Amino acid sequence: MRSTQEVVASLREALSDVGVVLPSLGVDPVTGASKDPYALVQLGRCNVRTAERLVAALRGEAMEPEGRLPR
């Protein structure tokens, strides 16, 4: 079984591959410090543009790269 940190790193990389950056992504400090082997992953807050990009990624829809205006 991979560690929570490894899973978070994989999630960060996969999100980045589809143009989504969640700045607050990390291991929940409270559950991460406990003996529970299934610490919570904290996805955190994001702005509405990032939420739109996440929705598009989950639906398999393409979006313009960050910083470009849609055509």
For residue 67, being part of any structural domain is answered with no
What pLDDT, on the 0 to 100 scale, is given for residue 36?
Answer: 76
For residue 65, being part of any structural domain is answered with no
How many structural domains comprise the chain? Answer: 1
For residue 38, being part of any structural domain is answered with yes
For residue 32, being part of any structural domain is answered with yes
What pLDDT, on the 0 to 100 scale, is given for residue 65?
Answer: 65
With 0-12 / 13-18 / 19 or more C-beta atoms within 10 angstroms meaning exposed / middle / buried, residue 53 is buried
pLDDT tens sequence across 13-70: 999 988 899 999 999 988 888 877 788 999 989 999 999 999 998 998 877 665 544 4
For residue 43, being part of any structural domain is answered with yes
For residue 48, being part of any structural domain is answered with yes
What pLDDT, on the 0 to 100 scale, is given for residue 22?
Answer: 93
- Residue 42 belongs to what domain range? 4-59
Angle at the Cα of 9 from the Cα atoms of 56 and 54, rounded to 5 degrees: 10
What pLDDT, on the 0 to 100 scale, is given for residue 71?
Answer: 43
For residue 39, being part of any structural domain is answered with yes
pTM score: 0.76
For residue 70, being part of any structural domain is answered with no
